[in-house]
Chain A
Amino acid sequence: MENPYIPYPVRIDEIEIATEDKSLKTFKFVFLNKEDEEKFSYQAGQFAELSIPGVGEIPIGIASSPVEKGFVKFTVFRAGVVTTHLHNMKVGDIMGIRGPLGNWYPWDKLENKNVVIIGGGFAFTTLRSSIIYMLDPANRKKFKNIDVVYGARSPGMLLYRDELFEWESRDDINMHITVDGTDDPDWKYNKGFVPTIVEQKAPQADADTYAIICGPPIMIKFTMPALVKLGYKENQIIMSLENRMKCGIGMCGRCNIGKELVCKDGPVFTLEELNKTPKEY
């Protein structure tokens, strides 16, 4: 019998500082056993438990994309016991990964649709995974227009900057990068909060347009009215939740919102679904 609590052993292959304040790092892991990589076959939007023996586990969204092979990547904010320990680890260290866990963005439903991706701060990891997935030559034709609104406090706080600027130069994706503010005279993108940019730049909704939104609660709160103004209905707004978790497989009982478990029935829900559950997230 498979033991869902035992992590796959991985080695840290690369550590990259992701933001100028060094509070986020991107970790690239390779599986010690090749066959585990196949077992870890995932979809964009899923998460995993990063597992450090003697310290504990932490649920983190998968930042690498299903179309990227040979490794998995996670961008981790240093916040608590496990993430602080992880930030102090070095290339070559052995730890574990459990997953993939949870559901994913509804890729079947999004086929032949316009997709608007809205992200803020460091909640851009599974969105990065999604963009890489959609832009893959084998997948791009499955989707109509792709728009991305992504904002952070300052240019140096944007995640995956090299990729963002590369996407800016492409004509098969409409990027709307923004920062809250900057004194950089060469900044050639937007300035302003995400909700404002959404209102100005995001496409009007029609029946074929879906928005995926991830970000801090305050951003989500103010982006919702902007989306409503643009005509998005509850079932066209897709969100990814976070709650405290331990098992990640629907058993330990703490991450529920009503009868739904964020770890197993989520983390991805439509606003329509969320409006039927208690707001315990």
Chain B
Amino acid sequence: MKFITIDKKDWAKGIEKSRETYRLFGPVKEKNGFLIKSLDNDMLPDMEYHDSVLSAKSVLFPQSEKMMTTSLDESRDGHHIMNRADADYSPRAVIGLRPFDAKAIQLVKLNFDTKEYRDPYWCDAYEATTFVGLGINKPGFYDFSTSAGSGPFNEEGLDVLLADMDDTYLAKVLTDKGQAYMDACGFKTQADAKESQALIDVLKKEAQKNIVSRIHTDKLKEKTTLELHEAPFWDDIAFSCINCGTCTYVCPTCWCFDIQDETKQKTTSRFKNWDTCMSPLFTLHTTGHNPRDTKTQRVRQRFMHKLKYFVDKYDQGTMCVGCGRCVKSCPVNIDIREVCNLMNAYEKQE
């Protein structure tokens, strides 16, 4: 494995240089906290950030995305025939995303890139993207990633892992895509592999020690869906929920979306928009019947999807990477860690 040392004095210049071939995304401070956004020409990724309010999922899965478009003007050729909307799939790089967000993108990939169908919008964006992660030296209070299949220096889904060494970044180049990005930045001071890994391991160990909360997931698989679905605790968990949907929007693995048409004069476009299973509209039938009519049903759906249905369907752990955003952002303190541990420990009373 190749390691590169980047002097922080050269950092800005290198990032600027990469713009010749890459569109850049990264953490940006806004009024209500950090977001992972497209970086305008004079902007650098803010590498001092701790937690971003929203995850990096929007780089591949924008909150609202134009999918196709057509003319409703019957005097025009091809009216009412939908064509894919133009979009920029030139190389892009996300700088400084958190390792758990990179892992989350691998989980979302299971949904959008399947044997039967590929979502071309997500897949094209994924292929265009280089993921340059930043290890977390000081994990936040809500981070429980180590017990959720990720961790502060987890490499899954990353092309480059950066470790902050005060005056320098140590870059572990994980893929060819990552190497290409380092080349585009002009970062090429190679570091000794063994020594570098040892340095990263020290940071990783220290960081992992700081993560104190954890989830238990080992018994989720052996329980039946119906047993967990009918467990007595769902009303209690859902009691305080106001169905605001914040948990689903901040979640790096929540992939559900809505499709809506929008018409301006004679041009219509079809959009893919983030949706939330917390909304009654999500499942409302035209007849008025709603299979998930009550708040308890919707809260249960969210947790069952992440911690049971996903586990059974893909056999790749839970659909939670332990970023802690939903715990932090929930206005009524619903805590996925508690719910997960309740589910894992649940034994049906005969």
A243-B287 Cα distance, complex, nearest whole Å: 11
- Select which of A7, A53, A253 is within 8 A of B256 by beta carbon: A253
A147 at the interface (CB under 8 A from B): no
Chain B positions within 8 Å of A277 at CB level: 225-226
- Interface size class of chain B, counting residues whose CB lies under 8 Å from the partner chain: 35 or more
Number of residue pairs spanning A and B whose beta carbons lie under 8 angstroms apart: 131
A25-B343 Cα distance, complex, nearest whole Å: 48
Chain A positions within 8 Å of B70 at CB level: 53
Q: Which of B37-45, B116-124, B171-179 contacts A (4 or more CB under 8 A)?
A: B116-124
Contact A252–B256 (Cβ < 8 Å): yes
A254 at the interface (CB under 8 A from B): yes
A156 at the interface (CB under 8 A from B): no
- Select which of B80, B84, B225, B268 is within 8 A of A94 by beta carbon: B80
A187 at the interface (CB under 8 A from B): no
| Nearest neighbor of B260 in chain A, beta-carbon distance | A56
A263-B292 Cα distance, complex, nearest whole Å: 17
Residues in B280-312 with C-beta less than 8 Å from chain A: 282-287, 289, 291-292, 297, 301, 304-305, 308-310, 312
Contact B261–A55 (Cβ < 8 Å): yes
Contact B72–A54 (Cβ < 8 Å): yes
Chain A positions within 8 Å of B258 at CB level: 246, 252
The SS class assigned to the B binding surface is: mixed
Contact B277–A276 (Cβ < 8 Å): no
Quick one: which of B282, B291, B301, B310 has the most chain A CB within 10 A?
B291
Contact B268–A251 (Cβ < 8 Å): no
Chain B positions within 8 Å of A32 at CB level: 81
| Residues A6 and B118 in contact in the complex (CB < 8 Å), given A80-B286, A254-B256 | no
Known: A247-B259, A254-B275. 7 other contacts (CB 8 A): A53-B80, A57-B259, A94-B80, A253-B257, A259-B313, A277-B226, A281-B291
B interface with A by C-beta (< 8 Å): 67-68, 70, 72, 79-84, 111-112, 114, 116-120, 123-124, 224-226, 229, 255-261, 263, 268, 270, 275, 277, 282-287, 289, 291-292, 297, 301, 304-305, 308-310, 312-313
Q: 5 closest pairs, A vs B, by CB?
A: A253-B256, A259-B309, A54-B268, A80-B286, A94-B80
